[in-house]
Amino acid sequence: MVNKNMKQYLDVLPEIAESIDAGRPVVALESTIISHGMPYPKNVETAKEVEQMVRDHGAIPATIAILGGRLKVGLNDGELEYLGKSGLDVIKASRRDIPFIVANKGDGATTVAATMIISALAGINIFATGGIGGVHRGGELSMDISADLQELSKTNVSVVCAGIKSILDIGRTLEYLETVGVPVVGYKTDYVPAFYARSSGFKVDYRLDSPGDIARAMKAKYDLGLEGGVLITNPVPEEFAQAPEKIEATINEAIKEMDRRGITGKETTPFLLARIAEQTGGESLETNIKLVLNNARLAAEVAADYSRLENK
């Protein structure tokens, strides 16, 4: 149920609002991948494929963005097209950016953190993305740590992803998540996936082998009033995975180039992903698409099982 105080800021598509009110499964989807993650028109095509994947597996998709200062839960075709064509001109919006974009009636493509916040305002508790942010390499000195991690610790939205982006310091990211009490679940895996690669070599907190098992753990967490999300990691399908050593070599070279050029903050991730795409001849883009679709499928199945548990 939408908080009445939020109605002056929040637009929820009728189909989504009705589903939330009726306790039917809904899966939130982010918009940064549309404006900042892929070139046009591939970004819009992928966004529509991801929404269809959610529908095909028993849930309603809710792509989230900020348009004209309105928090949008669900986008129509015209809005998807606008985001896709506008690309990098749209602000990459995290928690700190939301009030300023709203106040200035601006546009924002929502990161993991911002998507979680708007999902929670609308009453959606599961969200599918590609990979989450984390502690950047060298973060122990720079303190460059994604707001996604703090959001996972305090906002009751569970996130299905292909693990922690391989461009980050995965070990320190997992230590941070442990400190703030975020459980890391591996879906049919004992090891945290590393976005393009199926394993980072780091163990998950809990391995769960069915959507129903994940839904039951989520329900227990929220019934007990334990705030924050569950990080549900889902390895990219084997046929689309990239060789970890090849990705690692590309990342190391790109980091050296960033240091030379003074690239920091929000510019880091797009730069690294672009370099990886160049070095893999575009294969990494295809991997990115396949893993997002895979996460959307799992999120829809978990949402459907969670809905059945809630409606018993």
Active-site residues, by number, are 30, 165
CB 298 within 8 A of CB 234: yes
Contacts of 114 (CB under 8 A, 6+ apart): 30, 64, 66, 93, 94, 95, 97, 98, 108
Please give the angle made by the CA atoms of 184, 308 and 31, to the nearest 5 degrees.
55
C-alpha 51: how far from its chain's center? 14
Where do the H-state alpha helices sit in the chain?
14-21, 32, 42-56, 77-86, 98-103, 112-122, 139-142, 147-154, 170-179, 211-223, 244-261, 268-279, 283-310
3-class SS of residue 181: coil
In whole angstroms, give the CA distance from residue 95 to residue 111: 9
- The sign of the dihedral angle between the CA atoms of 250, 88, 101, 49 is negative
Residue 160 CA: distances (Å) to CA of 83, 149, 234: 23, 14, 7
60-67 and 108-110 beta bridge pairing: antiparallel
Q: Which helix (H) or strand (E) holds 7?
A: none
Contacts of 254 (CB under 8 A, 6+ apart): 167, 271, 272, 275, 276
Q: Token digits for 213?
A: 């098992």
